[in-house]
Amino acid sequence: MSNSDAVPPAATQRSAVNTILVRRLLHRGFIAAGGALLITALGTDYVYFKTALWQWANFSAWLITTGLIVLLVGVLLLLIDFATRRAARLDVVSFIVVAAAGLLSLLNAFVHSRDAWTSVVPQGISLSALSTVLLLIAAARGWSLAKSRASGDRT
56: closest CA among 71, 45, 69, 70?
A: 45
Side chain identity, residue 155: T
Q: What is the pLDDT of residues 111-148, one digit of tens each?
A: 999 987 889 999 999 999 999 999 999 999 999 999 88
Side chain identity, residue 61: A
For residue 20, is pLDDT > 80? no
Check if the beta carbon of residue 34 is closer than 8 Å to that of residue 68.
yes
Instruction: Write the DSSP assignment of 76-88 as a string of letters.
Output: HHHHHHHHTT-EE
- Of the candidate ranges 17-21, 50-54, 64-68, the one whose mean pLDDT is the lowest: 17-21
Taking the CA atoms of 88, 90, 91 and 95 in sequence, report the sign of the dihedral they define.
positive
Between CA 67 and CA 64 the distance in angstroms is: 5
Domain boundaries, the chain: 25-148
What is the band of 155 on the pLDDT scale with cuts at 50, 70, 90?
Answer: very low
Say which CATH class 25-148 falls into. Answer: mainly alpha
Contacts of 62 (CB under 8 A, 6+ apart): none
Average pLDDT of every residue of the chain: 88
For residue 28, is pLDDT > 60? yes
For residue 23, is pLDDT > 90? no
Say what the pTM is: 0.81
